[in-house]
Amino acid sequence: MLVPGMIFLILFKYTPMYGILIAFQEFNIFDGISGSPWVGLEQFQKLMVSDEFGRVFRNTLLISFYKIVILFPIPILLALFLNEVAKMWFKRLVQTIVYLPHFLSWVIIAGLFVNILSPSGGLINEMIVALGGKPISFLIDNNYFRSVLVLTAGWKEVGWNAIIFIAAIAGIEQDQYEAAALDGAGRIKQMIHITLPGIAPTIVLMFLLRIGHLLEAGTEQVLTLYNPVVYETGDVIGTYVYRVGLGKLDYSFSTAVGLFNSVVGFLLIVSGNWLSKKLLNRSIW
Partner 1 sequence: MNKRTYADYSLDAVIYLVLILMALSTLLPFANVLAKAVSAEWAVLSGKVGLFPIGFQLDTMKFVATSPQFIRSFLISVGVTIVGTLLSLLITAVTAYPLSKRKLPGISVILILFVFTMMFSGGIIPNYLLVRKLGLLNTLGSLILPALISVFNMLVIKSYYESLPESLEESAKMDGAKDWTILFRIILPLSGPVLATIGLFYAVSYWNDFFSPMLYINSPSLKPLQLYLRDIVMDANSVTAGLDRSADDLMNVSSEGVQAATVIASTIPILLVYPFLQKYFIKGVLIGSVKG
Residues of span 154-213 touching partner 1 by CB under 8 A: 155, 158-159, 163-164, 167-168, 181, 186-188, 202
Residue partners of 181: CB distance under 8 A and separation at least 6: 190
**39 to 78, contacts with partner 1 by CB under 8 A?**
78
Of 8 and 65, which has the nearer Cβ to partner 1?
A: 8
**113 to 142, contacts with partner 1 by CB under 8 A?**
113-116, 118, 120-123, 126
Residue type, 40: G
Query: What DSSP element (H or E) covers 267?
Result: helix 251-280
Of 64 and 224, which has the nearer Cβ to partner 1?
A: 224
Could you say whether residue 234 binds partner 1 (CB under 8 A)?
Answer: no
How far, in Å, CA of 276 to CA of 116, rounded? Answer: 40
Could you say whether residue 9 binds partner 1 (CB under 8 A)?
Answer: yes
Could you say whether residue 274 binds partner 1 (CB under 8 A)?
Answer: no
132: how many CB neighbours lie within 10 A of its CB? 6
Residue choice 53, 57, 106, 138 for contact with partner 1 (CB under 8 A):
106
Minimum distance between the CB of residue 228 and partner 1, rounded to whole angstroms? 12
Minimum distance between the CB of residue 187 and partner 1, rounded to whole angstroms? 6
Residue choice 70, 112, 172, 204 for contact with partner 1 (CB under 8 A):
112
Rg (CA), the chain: 23
For 230-254, give the secondary structure using H, E and C: HHHHHCCHHHHHHHHHHHCCCHHHH
133: how many CB neighbours lie within 10 A of its CB? 10
Residue choice 26, 42, 141, 220 for contact with partner 1 (CB under 8 A):
220
Contact criterion met (CB below 8 Å) for 46 and 250 = no
How many residues does the structure list for the chain? 285
Residue choice 31, 52, 54, 105 for contact with partner 1 (CB under 8 A):
105
Minimum distance between the CB of residue 238 and partner 1, rounded to whole angstroms? 7
121 backbone φψ class: left, alpha, beta (φ>0; ψ -120 to 50): left
